[in-house]
A and B are shown apart, each in its own frame.
Chain A
Amino acid sequence: MASTATTTSTWGILAEFDSAAEIFHACEKVRDAGFANWDAHTPFPVHGLDDAMGLKASKLPWVVLVVGLSGTFTGTALQYWVHNYAYKLVISGKPYFAWPAYVPVIFEMSILFSAFATIFSIMGFCRLPRWNHPIFGSARFEKASDDKFFISIESADPKFEATRTAEFLKGLGAKHVELVEEEA
């Protein structure tokens, strides 16, 4: 097989921990050290890790609220337009603007818009879909869905410096630290 020469650059650094308690305290130290572009990867949800990582409250609820309310408005406007202008019909002797009959559709439209807002905002915030991620280049990372705990710090972080950051993570009790490459 002909090998093509590809240039690689450092995407970041990956540190492996053995237990939830270890990564919990390591996250607190990484947070306090002032890193910004970093993440924790655990096989199951760890209570209180959000605070240990210093994560701010998600903006997702606000997006969902605004889009959900626009669904409420769309459902109302759609039915009002249909029943009062586009296709006037007297249905079981009710007035054209028979608002109680509108409510189930308004309700469903609010839910539909909220659900779309949620799923597409999450995809947007997480930059999905994508074909691959540099972190999957690490063979050890497969254990992140089994019994190992990882902290990754990206080279894009202003405080990142390959050797110093590796030493820092080892000092936090990491069992294994490796550089993760990405294709330039």
Chain B
Amino acid sequence: MSHPTAPTLDAQSASLPASSLWSKSPIIGALIGLLGLGGMFATGGFHGEGLFAYLVAYLFFFSLAMGALFFVVIQHATRAGWSVVVRRLAEILSMGFPALLVLFAPIAFGAHDLYHWTHLDVVATDPILKAKSGYLNMGFWLGRAIFYLVASSAYAWFFYSNSVKQDANGDLAYSHKTRGASYPALPVLALSVTFAAFDWSMSLDPHWFSTMFGVCFFAGGMIALLATLAIMGHSLKTTGPLAVVTTEHFHDIGKLLFGFTVFWSYVNFSQFMLIWYANIPEETTWFAHRWIEFGWDKFSIFLAIGHFALPFFFLMTRHTKRNKVTLLIASFWMLAMHYLDLFWQVMPTEQHHGPHFSAAHGLSMLMIGGFFFALVGVFLKKSSLVPVKDPRLSESLRFTNY
């Protein structure tokens, strides 16, 4: 269809107003983060079981930032038009990576409490761990962790800063540059997220391995990002700067949320079924621990229903994806389920008598979430929340679903 005048948007109306609560998020986030940090110290959360809780929270925000970065890179790689109005929000969320680089410290220093393979006396008498020690050793593990976080932070900054620079003059060269960089970024980030999941979560049980573990983690991260986009998008739409984000964009976010919920179930079930079918003790231990052996069977069933069956039927119809209230219910629910998914991955290593929550679970979420959103808040204020000079902006502004 021909449009006599292409819709445009000015940077002023797409910027965060000072009256918005989001504009105070650097201060509020930092205060919540400090509260969490203090609480963790006060309750001895940086030792023993508290560290496992910290790892769950860390993986939650790491997967969210990874999801955001993947979202941005995929939009550039596919030259997507519909997503331009929500892309800046994902760019800003991916700028939480530098905070995660610092927040990795408790895991690095607490590795001895978390990871069995760091106990050199155990490794010396264990032929399996001995054979894996070329990969699972402190130096290489730490080097890899720094690589994932630095590479992700650098890519996040690259895509964010070039997008913001384009706001000034609308130079097409920025679009070409980000698109060109998106293709090599995909394998780098795919390997980073896969091996980060191996290193930080899978190696908690160092005898066990699954090549599907990384993609399961990635699926969870995309769910976290899409749910966050829906929640923050609706919040910032109400506040003003994202007034241009319409039901059509939320419908697409809802479709992707539904799609990645199915994808998560597909890869997780595939991982489970192949191990169950082959029935090799070396491989089945991990699931045996999450079933009756450690008293996690009810939790596993709850996760299968809550993370798959319920959202599958709830998000199937277009009406729930296009309605603000139902999309927000689904988004908050999926964020909670994503936390429980990571909880289910990490905690059975420590909790051999069924799942239980401790103060450290809440405090570590406050600490990491607070500092993460403090940094994200800085970038929320720094630029307009829509790439106002993006060449595909007008396509995005008038985007409709069939």
Contact = CB atoms under 8 A, between A and B. Distances in A.
B255 to A, nearest CB: 13
A46 B1 CA distance: 6
Contact of B277 (A45, A50, A65, A101): A101
A47 B248 CA distance: 13
A103 B2 contact: no
Contact of A100 (B1, B277, B400): B277
Contacts of A93: 279
Contacts of A61: 317
B1 A48 contact: yes
B273 A24 contact: no
Interface residues of A, number: 17
B269 interface: yes
A100 B279 contact: no
B141 interface: no
A24 B4 CA distance: 14
B273 A101 contact: yes
- Pick the most buried of A50, A92, A100, A101: most chain B CB atoms within 10 A of its CB: A100
Nearest to B273: A100
Interface in A97-151: 100-101, 103-104
Interface in B172-211: none
Contacts of A104: 273
Given A47-B400, A50-B402, A92-B277, A100 B272 contact: yes
B276 interface: yes
Given A47-B400, A48-B400, A92-B279, A20 B1 contact: yes
A19 B1 CA distance: 9
B400 A21 contact: no
Interface in B325-359: none
A21 B277 contact: no
Contacts of B277: 92, 100-101
A54 B269 CA distance: 43
- Pick the most buried of A47, A50, A92: most chain B CB atoms within 10 A of its CB: A47
A20 B316 CA distance: 32
A170 B279 CA distance: 74
Nearest to B313: A65
Nearest to A24: B1
Nearest to B4: A21
Given A20-B2, A24-B1, A46-B1, A103 B400 contact: no
B122 to A, nearest CB: 32
Interface residues of B, number: 12
A100 B2 contact: no
A49 to B, nearest CB: 9
Nearest to B2: A21
Interface majority SS (helix, strand, loop, mixed), chain A: helix
Contacts of B279: 92-93
A128 B49 CA distance: 65
Contacts of B316: 65
Nearest to B402: A50
Interface string A41-59: 0000111101000000000
Interface string B260-292: 000000000100110011010000000000000
Contacts of A65: 316
A47 B402 CA distance: 8
Interface in A60-114: 61, 65, 92-93, 100-101, 103-104
A47 B2 CA distance: 10
Contact of B269 (A20, A45, A92, A103): A103
Contact of A21 (B1, B269, B276): B1
B291 to A, nearest CB: 12
Contacts of B317: 61
A41 B273 CA distance: 49
A169 B273 CA distance: 62
B168 to A, nearest CB: 31
A50 B269 CA distance: 39
B126 to A, nearest CB: 29
Interface in B275-323: 276-277, 279, 316-317
A171 B270 CA distance: 61
A92 B387 CA distance: 58
Nearest to B269: A103
Interface string B384-402: 0000000000000000101
Nearest to A91: B277
A47 B1 contact: yes
Nearest to A20: B1
Contacts of A24: 1
A50 B1 CA distance: 13
A20 B273 CA distance: 52
Nearest to A92: B279
Interface of A: 19-21, 24, 45-48, 50, 61, 65, 92-93, 100-101, 103-104
7 contacts: A20-B2, A21-B2, A61-B317, A65-B316, A100-B272, A100-B277, A101-B273
* 3 tightest Cβ-Cβ pairs between the two chains A and B: A100-B273, A47-B1, A20-B1
Interface of B: 1-2, 269, 272-273, 276-277, 279, 316-317, 400, 402
Given A47-B1, A65-B316, A100-B276, 17 more contacts: A19-B2, A20-B1, A20-B2, A21-B1, A21-B2, A46-B1, A48-B400, A50-B402, A61-B317, A92-B277, A93-B279, A100-B272, A100-B273, A101-B273, A101-B277, A103-B269, A103-B273
